[in-house]
Amino acid sequence: MTAQPPMHPKYEVVIGLEVHVQLATKSKVFSWSSTAFGAEPNTQTDPVCLGMPGTLPVLNGAAVEAAVRLGLAAGCTIRPRCRFSRKHYFYPDLPKGYQISQFDEPICEGGRINFRLHGEAHSVRLTRIHMEEDAGKNLHAAAGVSFVDYNRAGVPLCEIVSEPDVRSAEEAAEYVRAIRALVRYLGIGDGNMEEGSLRCDANVSLRLHGETKYGTKAEIKNMNSFKNVRDAVEHEVKRQAALLDRGERVVQETRLWDASRGVTQSMRSKEQAHDYKYFPEPDLPPLVVDEAFLSKVRASQPELPEDRFARYTTKEGLSPQDAGVLVADRETAAYFDAVVDSLAAGAAGAPAKKAANWVINEVLARVADPRELGAPSMPVAAAALAELVTLIEGGTLSGKLGKDVFAKMWAEKRTAGDIVKAEGLTQVSDSGALEDACKRVIAANPDEASRFKENPKLMGFFVGAVMKETGGKANPKSVNEILRKLLG
Amino acid sequence: MSAHSIDPKASTIASIASGVRAGKVRARDVAEAYLARIGHEDAALGCYVKVDAEGARRSADAVDATVKAGRDPGPLAGVPLGIKDIFCTKGVETTCASKILKGFVPPYESTVTARLAAAGAVSLGKLNMDEFAMGSSNENSAFGTVKNPWSRAHVPGGSSGGSAAAVAASLCAGATGTDTGGSIRQPAALCGVVGIKPTYGRVSRYGVVAFASSLDHPGPFARTVEDTATMLEVMSGVDPLDATSVPQPVGAYGKAARAGKEGGSSLSGVRIGIPAEYFGAGLDPEIEAAVRAAHEELAKAGAKLVPVSLPHTKYAIATYYLVCTAEASSNLARYDGVKYGQRAEGAKSLEELYARTRGEGFGREPKRRIMLGTYVLRAGYYEAYYGKALRARRKIFDDFAAAFSQVDVLVTPTSPIPAFKFGERMGDPMQMYLADVLTVAPNLAGIPALAQPCGFSKSGLPIGLQVMGPPLGEEACFRVAGAYESRTQWHERRPADVGGAS
Amino acid sequence: MASGSRIRPEEVREIAALSRLRLTDDEVAALTSDLDSILGYVAELGELDTSAVEPMTHAVPFDCPLRPDEIQPSLPLEEALANAPRREASFFQVPRIVPGPAGSGGEEDL
Ligand SMILES: [Mg+2]
Ligand SMILES: [Zn+2]
């Protein structure tokens, strides 16, 4: 494990991120219409989220619970008393002319997001996590007009603001991925960047290596995939480095990532300084999160990726690489745990490593999205995979046959036992038949047999030959024992 | 007038509701009597921006059907009410007396109007007001001024000018209003009727177009203390649609008002505070005399008069105008010509759409307040202005808390001057704002404050008394006001009909 | 501070731009004088010592109530759009806008 070289040889790259996470509540954060994605425009609205005169926000308890869950998972301090503020700007997607957000007293402060990249542990400090409402969507049509859809207006958001701790484009993308994993683990959102349920803005600046003062930053927006995050930051670093190399200055501004052209572009039209005129939201009294609320959330907090990683690498004896793959998604980890649990019940030796191999090499290889592992449509349930592994460990199937059987299980949704029985695949464990086969192989290879005592590595050769002799049906473990006895 | 009809000028909420509930008078006949009177009188007064005759008849018929079916239509059975046009009414245009909201038909109902309707009340229509409730004279309406029924050369007060004038002129038996800095009490005083601004949050703000959210208080107007109490009882209560609505149970306001009326010394044991700061320079001598006389009357009813001090009163106007304009600039940001209301035609860009829609749609006073509010909320100015005002607000609240540790209510004048003439104060906004000096502090503190008639000037204009109580002290206010009313006849006077003059 | 010195017409125009209010020159002149006199009046708060008090942001002494996470019917599309000065199909319509302020993003090209 060696430290990665800096992203840029001359400049240190300094990145702080603001990630918006939509919380998967049923109803909106301050009103009662549905938050479901993809409905017909303006069919999921109510007078409150449309900002109609005289309407008032009433806070959704489930959104508070989700924010607290996220804050606890990220190790934040949860404010016993926080408040909402109005953030003002005029834009058609913002129905009230202000967004109800949090300003000077956010619900969560401090904390960190931990992740691993190239085997290295990273920990990005958080400034805060605050709650706010989402805006609607503006759609830009051709003929001099734009359209507004308020279905998204009022969907609850958590905005996660990091300290400028990120040092490369790759780290930035991995940080966002770690947030997505966390959000999914906690079950508070789906973290789908393409649908906008997870959005990322990056503040990027450069400074000479060794310099302690921060350079001027540009804020990059509109990155709607992990790849976008990496590409946009990479592009921005190149752009700023070129400016600095020419002795020019970076302008503090907001730039939009244009994925199709692979460039960030200044939003010059918005250069007028923003004055959000924050002030405490008079329509909502201060929010109190007391110890009772906290303990309720803590009690139902799932095991988090970091804790699972620690458990897998220590108690279960997995490699960090395998553990990293398994904890990346809650469904993968849960599936893996279920396989191990079933195996443990069947008392197979060292089940975790075997289960990990199967999950990583066979199961994950067959799904487009790891979340499918938690779906009812999953072709091979954890218990079914455990059954297969048990058949192999018990000597009924060889490893090679096992893979064929697994392919059939996946394709036909049948159990391993079924397939083995129906197709006569049972491995030859009968010691008499095996002993005959072994004897035939030894007789056919006298030279190797005579050299076995000096070179025990020839065992592999013999086992392979016996397997060939038996059409792959021999139990390798029994073959080993018999050969050792005959050659010994 | 038919045999079963009633005379609006001689009717009260209590008399109408008991008649309708007992089946002695039909709600429909009551509604027709009031609609006829509006038809005759309102052209000269301008109280209503919209008369909803069809809606009134429909609701009245429903009340009659309920009575006929042997069920109780509720404590406001058949009571014809005027609704300040700041309350959103489902399917009925709601403009807040602003051009920018012209044509807005809410798809929802305010909690207050829903509760009144559920109690059997019949809405006659929407009442004129100062645009977005900003004003003290009703001269800021985009839909014409309201005349004071006692003298049509004089303003009715504001912002609930239409409400106070309509009740005074018997164009409704009761009315809803809102009070952000005196907008119920000052017009009540200027028109010689009763009005109360309850404790902040006692009455839900849901569906009440916001002016200054932390100061807005919906409340009722009526001609008697008991009627006002009856209406407030119906309007009050926690509302799941308003996170600032008070969860405590609603008091027995009607009972408190009646208790005040009983016997010669119904106020024995009641301590009435007289804050010196409410009798300072600028108080009209006729008003001072009337209020001092009222103190004596209350003492005769057994109350003990106690001098108190509210030392930060002099900062109330400055505090109030900083808080209310900041909140107003925010609350009025939503009027942008996109979702509802008026839009400037022909705008080529979004910026032009905003600036022109708002520039053309808002009247002078909302513009002034949006500007001041934006000024004080700007980065770098917040602490000096808004932050400072919020701290001064706390000091004003603390003044009241200290006073209410010694007394049960405070009794003061409501307006330092009687109704003034149209145009007299429009030139100088600061002079207009200063007229709110006696009413804004209870809004800042969120305490209940009631206004009721306590005399007339030599020129025949009404004078109003103000009774303030501690938070959720509405019952104390009603008890004192009820006792005063029972010992005086001011509330029985009626302005002369104008009968179609205009 | 002397009258007429607290706020200049240029500042009034800036505030008007921030407030999205198009004002006539007469309005700018009137507002300059109005705001000047109001700011002069509110300056008296400066003499008040408020160092020992907490800002009073709400008149209610209780904590924020929480709503159960329950969906109620949305406004029917026609009711949602009924008050729109301009609509097109099921959208609210505005003059073409150039993409995005520092909000939470939500731009799409049709
Ligand atoms: Mg942000
Ligand atoms: Zn945000």
Q: Is the peptide bond before B110 cis (omega within 30 degrees of 0)?
A: no
User: Which has the minimum average pLDDT: A32-46, B63-77, B421-435?
Assistant: B421-435
pLDDT for residue C108: 44
Of C10 and A349, the one with more pLDDT: C10
- Crossing angle, helix C9-18 and helix B364-377, to 10 degrees? 90
Mean pLDDT computed over B376-392: 95
Cross-strand partners of B329? none
- A 10 A CB-CB count for B135 gives 26
Local confidence band at B2 (pLDDT 50, 70, 90 cut-offs): very low
Q: Which of A373-382, A395-404, B473-482 has the highest mean pLDDT?
A: B473-482
B118 has pLDDT over 50: yes
The dihedral of CA A69, A70, A74, A80: what is its sign? negative
Cα(B266)–Cα(C83) distance, integer angstroms? 53
Cross-strand partners of B439? none
pLDDT for residue C109: 39
DSSP category for residue A350 = S
Q: Which two structure tokens, joined as six digits, stand for B201?
A: 């949050």
pLDDT for residue A433: 75
pLDDT for residue C103: 40
Which residues of chain B have a CB within 8 Å of the CB of C64? Answer: 243
The secondary structure element, H or E, covering residue A390 is: helix A382-393
Provide the residue count of chain A.
488
**How confident is the model over B324-368, as pLDDT tens digits?**
999 999 999 999 999 999 999 999 999 999 999 999 999 999 999
DSSP category for residue A471 = T
User: Which subunits have 3 or more CB–CB pairs within 8 Å of chain B?
Assistant: A, C
Strand, coil or helix: A410: helix
Measure in Å the smallest separation between the Cα of B391 and chain C Cα atoms. 4
User: Which has the minimum average pLDDT: A285-294, A336-345, B89-98, B336-345?
Assistant: A336-345
C107 has pLDDT over 60: no
* CA nearest to B237, candidates B228, B227, B247: B247
pLDDT for residue A431: 67
Strand, coil or helix: A375: coil
Cα(B475)–Cα(B495) distance, integer angstroms? 29
Phi and psi at residue A153, to the nearest 5°: -60, 125
**Could you tell me which residues come within 8 angstroms of residue A307 by beta carbon, excluding any fewer than 6 positions away?**
none
- A 10 A CB-CB count for A147 gives 23
Strand ranges inside B39-151, DSSP E: 48-51, 80-84, 122-127
- Distance from residue A19's CA to the centre of ligand 1 (Å): 8
User: Which subunits have 3 or more CB–CB pairs within 8 Å of chain C?
Assistant: A, B
B21 has pLDDT over 80: yes
Mean pLDDT computed over A163-191: 96
**What are the residue ranges of helices labelled H in B311-428?**
316-331, 350-361, 364-377, 388-403
Q: Identify the nearest ligand to the CA of A102 by its number.
A: 2
In whole angstroms, how far apart are CA C97 and each of C30, C86, C87, C107?
A: 32, 15, 15, 10
- Distance from residue A18's CA to the centre of ligand 1 (Å): 6
Mean pLDDT computed over A274-285: 95
Cα(A374)–Cα(A391) distance, integer angstroms? 24
Type of residue numbered A368: A
**How confident is the model over B230-281, as pLDDT tens digits?**
999 999 999 999 999 999 999 999 999 999 887 667 899 999 999 999 999 8
Mean pLDDT computed over B102-106: 98
pLDDT for residue A344: 74
| Cβ within 8 Å, pair B429-C67 | no
Mean pLDDT computed over B291-303: 97
- DSSP code string of C69-105: ----PPPPHHHHHTT-SSEETTEEEEE---S--SSS-
B126 has pLDDT over 50: yes
Cross-strand partners of A114? A123
Type of residue numbered A199: R
In chain C, whose CA is at the least distance from the CA of A222? C105
**Could you tell me which residues come within 8 angstroms of residue B285 by beta carbon, excluding any fewer than 6 positions away?**
none
DSSP category for residue B138 = S
pLDDT for residue B3: 45
pLDDT for residue C106: 45
A355 has pLDDT over 80: yes
Cα(B390)–Cα(B119) distance, integer angstroms? 38
pLDDT for residue A268: 62
What percentage of chain B has pLDDT greater than the value 90? 93
User: Exposed, middle or buried: residue B304 (CB in 10 Å: 0-12, 13-18, 19+)?
Assistant: middle
Of C98 and A371, the one with more pLDDT: A371
Which residues of chain C have a CB within 8 Å of the CB of A88? Answer: none
pLDDT for residue A430: 64
Measure in Å the smallest separation between the Cα of A111 and chain B Cα atoms. 28
**How confident is the model over B145-170, as pLDDT tens digits?**
999 999 999 999 999 999 999 999 99
**How confident is the model over C30-71, as pLDDT tens digits?**
999 999 999 999 999 999 999 999 999 999 899 999 999 999
Nearest to C63 among A139, A149, A286 (CB): A286
Is B379 at the interface with chain C, CB within 8 A? no
The yes-or-no answer on residue B159 being catalytic is yes
Which residues of chain A have a CB within 8 Å of the CB of C110? Answer: 139-142, 147
Of A346 and C23, the one with more pLDDT: C23
pLDDT for residue A468: 82
pLDDT for residue B433: 86
Q: Which of A347-361, B401-415, C84-98 has the highest mean pLDDT?
A: B401-415
Size of the A and B interface in Cβ pairs below 8 Å: 102
pLDDT, averaged across chain B: 96
**How confident is the model over B450-465, as pLDDT tens digits?**
999 999 999 999 999 9
Local confidence band at C4 (pLDDT 50, 70, 90 cut-offs): low
Mean pLDDT computed over B295-318: 97
**How confident is the model over B391-450, as pLDDT tens digits?**
999 999 999 999 999 999 999 999 999 999 999 888 888 888 888 999 999 999 999 999
Local confidence band at B186 (pLDDT 50, 70, 90 cut-offs): very high
| Cβ within 8 Å, pair B213-A282 | yes
B18 has pLDDT over 50: yes
Mean pLDDT computed over A373-385: 90
Strand, coil or helix: A441: helix
Write down the catalytic residue from B59, B123, B159, B329: B159
Measure in Å the smallest separation between the Cα of B100 and chain C Cα atoms. 11
Q: Identify the nearest ligand to the CA of C105 by its number.
A: 2
**How confident is the model over A428-483, as pLDDT tens digits?**
666 677 888 888 889 888 888 888 888 888 888 888 888 888 777 777 778 888 88
Is B315 at the interface with chain C, CB within 8 A? yes
User: Exposed, middle or buried: residue A271 (CB in 10 Å: 0-12, 13-18, 19+)?
Assistant: exposed
pLDDT for residue A140: 83
Local confidence band at A270 (pLDDT 50, 70, 90 cut-offs): very low
What percentage of chain A has pLDDT greater than the value 90? 67
Cα(B485)–Cα(B417) distance, integer angstroms? 21
Cross-strand partners of A451? none
pTM value?
0.92
Strand ranges inside B52-127, DSSP E: 80-84, 122-127
In whole angstroms, how far apart are CA B336 and each of A92, A96, B187, B352, C107?
A: 9, 9, 31, 11, 20
| Cβ within 8 Å, pair A139-C91 | yes
**How confident is the model over A122-153, as pLDDT tens digits?**
999 999 999 999 999 999 877 789 999 999 99
Q: Which two structure tokens, joined as six digits, stand for A267?
A: 């939003």
**How confident is the model over A71-99, as pLDDT tens digits?**
999 999 999 999 999 999 999 999 999 99
Write down the catalytic residue from B11, B123, B136, B183: B183
CA atoms within 13 A on the CB side of B264: 1
- Crossing angle, helix B364-377 and helix B316-331, to 10 degrees? 100
pLDDT for residue C36: 95
Write down the catalytic residue from B84, B126, B147, B261: B84
pLDDT, averaged across chain C: 88
* Interface pTM, i.e. ipTM: 0.96
